[in-house]
Amino acid sequence: MAKKFNLREFQTALSQQLQAAASRDTAGSRLGFRVGATNWLVGLADTEEVLPVPPIVKVPGARRWFRGMTNIRGNLFAVSDFADFLGQGATPEQASCRLLIPHHGFGVNAALLVGGTLGLKNIGQYRPCEGGAAQPWVAHRYADDAGTEWHDMDFGQLLGHAGFLMVEA
């Protein structure tokens, strides 16, 4: 015989769970990803999507770090190899590679090729690093309990930086 299901209790429990989730502090939540030998963080609100790398069409006359164009659900995106842009060499093509798509609110159809994602990170558990950032798109630098350094990305600064926008060789 089937177990009885109380819809009212289920709805009440679900409502309580949703309210608890909405009240959690998500300001410290970041997506961790790897670029070359560097660990990066990006705010969840700044990220539209992370997806496996689709076919990319090369663009003649472009800088080496500008990988080309790709079609994502009918929209063209300019793909940049973030490690190569930073001078750390080209990202090797592996199954772990991902495209990091900035939030559509930035108004740019750009995608960053990264070596892989490292899951959600809570910067509230990290300590700030001393010293300034080398690039304007590094909002903050943190260190975790193991002493690993993390760079917190400012997508707006990166997407508006003249060096990032100049893709012609």
Instruction: Please state, in angstroms and rounded to a whole number, the distance separating the CA atoms of residues 138 and 155.
Output: 9
Instruction: Please state, in angstroms and rounded to a whole number, the distance separating the CA atoms of residues 7 and 15.
Output: 12
* pLDDT tens-digit series, residues 29-87: 999 999 988 999 999 999 999 999 999 999 999 999 999 999 999 999 999 999 999 99
Q: Is it the case that residue 19 has pLDDT exceeding 60?
A: no
Longest dimension (CA), the chain: 71
pTM tops 0.75: yes
Structural domains present in the chain: 29-165 (2.40.50.180)
Q: 60 φ, ψ to 5°?
A: -65, 145
Distances (CA, A) of 107 to 12, 65, 103, 142: 40, 21, 8, 28
